Structure 1
């Protein structure tokens, strides 16, 4: 989810400061960077079970061993819950999913270098512990009850609140895994355009990266069950945000939306205070029931924004959130897709022209059906695969024009080759897994842990 919270700072005295939070994050194109986050499941190679937090073969031990590479421990209540090294963090999702939150980097080539260094490190530790790591959108074998909760107070608050607002929030926390990219914006107008393109094309990313067709050892009827889970997690903080396409969209409008999303917590002096369901507007007025008389700081605002989960999320950067976790070789494709679409002005214009006349009904149809039908989702006399092919081609041209070359004079477009193939065939990664399941895997999901482990 996010790096550990930071408390401190002066109280917010004017709601205008919340808008300035976004305005002050605008950067010229020369300073635009890409931050890639990717999660993976950690499992016992003998039993295939997810690891507990504590013990000889555990998540805590895994984090301890990673410190040999220079990672510094981050503690909560005396327990190791994260690592940091420079601008990178290794964090724990609620069910023990391990996440690398990468540094903001200039090129996809650098992102891939970062990913490969991380791969080498985690594979070395995993081999010593006889554990494996795998990238999938959803835990394919084990039930919610068989997944261990990580000892983080933030997650305890969410665990209690989630069942009050949706039926699948605990599955989201314990059993999903994603890859996402964080991108910069140059101005309010640039943010709006990227937000609209990102929302409209998020179903394309969902289908291209769809990789979660199994639940508790059986096909679940979806190609991206991870994406489906978000539709019944919490309607207050998830979804397609139809109002983003309205005339009043801007930093002010997003601020109003965020203020209306119920809170989870307040972080003070190393402690998470339960404020679940309470109002940030009341907090601004010094009337928060959890902390009467106190007013929020900008750190509180930053924390609150991390508890909002739409398909595209705005903070001091924008997060593209629609993709399932996947195999190592496909992780670089997600930042490449969005960099190609959003970091070249001609490509962004092309992408907007592609989606500008999508109606609200059509956008939501694609969002609803992509997790089920993937690239075969019907759309305007064709399928989502038609839109995917155009999208990938636009991104390829954008990356070619970006002209960020590696040592072999190759552009970042090389990282889109897998997506181009998926779009061309119309076969999602999930459908490939299903063909193996119904074929030589003899209707068992166990082989996925060996054949697709990192």
Structure 2
């Protein structure tokens, strides 16, 4: 989750909310890609979660990273809860159960996001190794129960933890027991944003299948390939999902603002204090009708923070966030950025994708989204299965990346990052099915080997 914004400019009109989003438009020459990924920290000796405090702790990790990188700490009261690079590099933050997140910098190409990622993992290892801490890349913790999970000392998470059980059965699992990898991409106009939003929403289940990597819960197969994706179907449906209205006429920045105004809020931040306004709408805040802040009107910061608590499959801020993928081993992390850059930043690929999805109905898109967590590549839409669609989109993606001609210092283009996805599709099985094969065969029904084979 992003770090809280600080811009106390008061908002007077709805048009200002629209304008704030519109400021995300940028010329194609300035398009960037950003990658965010979360990973589970575990104690190497017994594969248990890492507490926030103590000698071998999340706090020790953050302190060590701060000294190593020289980044500025993000504090909440006495507690370090993250850090950021003041030169605009990236940020490190904590998810509710201590999942360690790198929010990468917006960069020109996938080579740069891959380099940033590998540098980050090398730095983290340097600090973590003497502490006896390892990191696991999976979509859901394979062994820990809810009760096992440590709780990070962040005010916004306290409020969310109290609110989640009121609005769905899986909210606490989402917060404490899942990890994702996310790619963030740009748009040059309102129409371009709408087209990219629609294409990526419709195709998000393909990314879920390609990255499905959470088949275990509490040491046993859970019946799903992406339990993380299944968890999102009953977390808080007021702020999640496939946004069928985004495909209706009149979609644009204003329509997103009207949607966000009615999504229930979690908190308002004043200074270092989080004020619990859970369940109240931003529309009421806008009208000065919040009982805990009578007469007070929202600021730009409040709006930016509120937008970061909306969790659909694709999220609009001043860029688009692809949110359908499970966290995974390091080799696959740059693949997500490569997949979406190849499809969304090449006009021919974007048009071809739109032709592929434009006749799908809202019901068909929803059914696909609902079927993929369990069925993976075998899920179907119309008469086509996800495996066939994944093959087609990877071909388009490869062409789009070749045309971009972003070469690394060895003269290789960005298509090299598609290899893990192409290997999955060639085998016709998701990463989760690969894990299950190992579990039932060479691992002899134990998930312990995962902490060696899938650690960073």
Give the TM-score, by structure 1 length. 0.98
User: Which residue does the alignment assign to 2:21?
Assistant: 22
**Please, which of 167, 170, 181 is the counterpart of residue 168 of structure 1?**
170
Matched with 2:52 is 53
Equivalent of residue 372 in structure 1, options 371, 374, 378: 374
| DSSP 3-state at the match of 1:267 | strand
Quick one: distance in 2 between partners of 1:313 and 1:8? 21
Match of 2:328, SS state, is coil
Which residue of structure 2 aligns with residue 339 of structure 1?
A: 341
Give 1:378 deviation, angstroms.
Answer: 2.9
Matched residues in 1 for 2:361 and 2:169: separation?
A: 29
Q: Within 2, Cα distance between the matches of 1:8 and 1:197? A: 32
Q: Tell me the SS of whatever aligns to 1:323.
A: strand
Is the 8 Å Cα contact of residues 32 and 185 (structure 1) preserved in structure 2?
yes
Residue of structure 2 in register with 1:2 after alignment: 2
Instruction: Give the one of 312, 318, 334 matched to 1:316.
Output: 318
**In structure 2, what is the Cα distance between the partners aligned to 1:241 and 1:334?**
21
Distance in 2 between the 1:397 and 1:270 partners?
Answer: 48
Contact 1:7 1:268 in 2 (8 A): no
> Residues 305-454 of structure 1 correspond to what in structure 2 (within 5 A)?
305-454=307-456
By how many angstroms is 1:360 displaced? 1.4
Residue pairs, 1:205-354, within 5 angstroms: 205-354=207-356
Q: Deviations over 1:119-152 (max 9, x none)?
A: 1101111211111101100010010000001000
**Aligned partners of 2:5 and 2:304 also within 8 Å:** no
Q: How does 1:94-105 map to 2 (within 5 A)?
A: 94-105=96-107
In 2, Cα distance between the equivalents of 1:210 and 1:235? 21
Gaps of at least 5 residues in structure 1 are none
Deviation at 1:204, TM superposition (A): 0.2
What SS is found at the alignment partner of 2:84?
strand
After TM superposition, what 4+ stretches of structure 1 lie above 6 angstroms from structure 2?
A: none
Conserved in 1, the CA contact under 8 Å of 2:265 and 2:278?
Answer: yes
Counterpart pick for 1:126 among 121, 125, 128: 128
The alignment partner of 1:171 has SS state of: helix
Question: Which range is displaced more, 96-105 or 63-72?
Answer: 63-72
State the shift of 1:424 in Å.
Answer: 2.4
Specify the SS of the correspondent of 2:161.
helix
1:8 Cα offset (Å): 4.0
Aligned partner of 1:64 in structure 2 is 63
- CA deviations on 1:369-420 (whole Å, 9 max, x unpaired) are 1100101113333421000001111111111111111112211111111111
Tell me, in whole angstroms, the C-alpha distance in 2 between the residues paired with 1:265 and 1:298: 14
C-alpha separation between the residues in 2 aligned to 1:290 and 1:252?
28
Query: Which residue in 2 is equivalent to 1:75?
Result: 75
| In 2: Cα distance, 1:334 partner to 1:359 partner | 26
Q: Give CA deviations for 1:71-123 in whole Å, capped at 9, x if unaligned.
A: 22110011000011132100000000000000000000111110111011011
What CA distance in whole angstroms lies between the structure 1 residues aligned with 2:406 and 2:6?
Answer: 38
CA contact (8 A) 1:171 1:229 kept: yes
Between the aligned partners of 2:241 and 2:257, the Cα distance in structure 1 is: 16
SS for the counterpart of 2:183 is strand
Number of residues of Structure 1 aligned to a counterpart in Structure 2 = 453
